[in-house]
Structure 1
Amino acid sequence: MTKKALEVRSLTKKVKNKVIVDDVSFEVEKGEIFGLLGPNGAGKTTIIRMIVSLIGRTKGEVFVNGYNIDEQFKESMSEMGAIVENPEFYKYMSGYKNLKHYANMATREVTEERIKEVVKLVGLENAVHQKVKTYSLGMRQRLGVAQALLHNPSLLILDEPTNGLDPQGIREFRDYLRSLTKQGISVIVSSHLLSEMELMCDRFAIIEKGKLIHVSSINQLANQEQFVPTVQFEVDDVNKAFELLKEHQLTNDWKVEEGQQFSIKVDKETTADVNLLLVNNGIKVYSIHPITTTLEDRFLALTSKGEQGGKK
């Protein structure tokens, strides 16, 4: 049976009488980017801190590449590289000297060849001998990833890694992470940036108020039946179309767009029925196209459902 890159079982954190993380379980496959998604204060950083043993757990187990973190701590730590806060370096030293410093403290021997390898992997060959104080934020983030990869871990854990990066820096960082997974490295990323997680992750877990409320791949969530797509129609008479569709109870989430356009929530088959109904009643249909539901829309739908469930 293939070992998972990470297994988290019933992870719980209580501080006095307050539950910060409530019975969270998930798995990270080898070679995938797994996202922890949720608003600030949801418990993402606390989960990550427990995984990397920066804080204790009230309950739960963590397995890294098959190693139980309680029983095989050294082996577990050797399999992980992490950036939990913004990476900190000696700014008066070069990127290379900083990496050399961290290499001397690594749990595994880090050769000169390995340092060169990770520098190339994160694309800092031309800047590694410059002082860190000359680096952009994006370059410092990449140097942080290089530092976390020095001891050749199988799992990279990043907490809000794109904070402060401009759009170009975020795209470059996303590309670097994807290149890592091609080499078999698994990545777990926490973020509250919904659109970015949609582009970055293979699968994700939604965390809300310390609870895990949903786990799926981006594609699975997009295809779930509970999310009825929005379809936009362009016609010659919006008002007449509204009255006609109202008679047939087809004005679900009706919204008038620019000009002679309107949108409604209908599935694929009903879209065809609406088109036929409009045409048969003398309404010209100029165009029909679906409006892609974003991860943000689906996230809000799920979290609002979770809130309603909690109020019952």
Structure 2
Amino acid sequence: MRIATTVFLTDETISPVRLAVELEQRGFDGLYLPQHTHIPVSRETPAPAGDPLPREYGRALDPLVALAQAAAVTERIGLGTGVLLIAQHDPIALAKQIATLDFVSGGRFTLGIGYGWNVEEAADHGVDWKTRRDLVRDRMALMRALWAEEPTGYRGEFGAVSASFAHPKPLRTPRSRGTDVPHLLGPRTLIGGAAGPKLFAHVAEYADGWMPVGGSGLKEAIPRLRRAWQEAGRPGEPQVVPYAVHPSAGKLAYFAELGLAEVVVGLPSAGETEILQALDAHAEFL
């Protein structure tokens, strides 16, 4: 089982460069970074893990910039977002950023995407909360038009792009399908979120798999995801990558029994000493 890590990197934590070098030297498989562009002080939305909201949410580094630093000092580890809030971005600019990061890292990027939980943050970006899932779907389709080998236009409900020259192209060929399917181009894509028919339908339609937080309830949820995958006519099986997991030997053995090949363990949002101690504690699982 591949063991990657995730952490809220901020202006007060270990640097992306220092962490990435340590992960590669120690044999971890990858680094996933979350995103919040900002946290409005007037926030009314309850935090997913309960209030008060941890300090690091309002201080998080931009994941794509930080991962570019990590890419420059490593050769092997995977680099990913967990998760990128697609609705809060201009899709044409974001398509360029994602393709560039995948290109300069040698195809090591995984695009973990999500729909968000902070209504006030999304509202500042002009996002209508009720339609954010459809907006993400539309923006993914627009970005994939730009990632196509030949100039390809796209017009959707929320945006459009004319047939354009847009390079570089993402390098990775996703494992579950070929690059000849325009609406499935780009780096490996995982959708984060709670189990449910709508989320699983979206995973089956335009992603490579699911990124559930924590990993509880997977024994019941994975068969439902597989049915949605098969009903959508997708070959093979969806990838399931438990995210922000507190690891134990028993938990990892359970994931292996479910047929999972990758897990992302959580690290504290902390300075170098505490982060390295956490990596030492996780070393037994490598």
**Which TM-score applies when normalising by structure 1?**
0.27
**Greater C-alpha radius of gyration:** 1
Which has the larger share of strand?
1
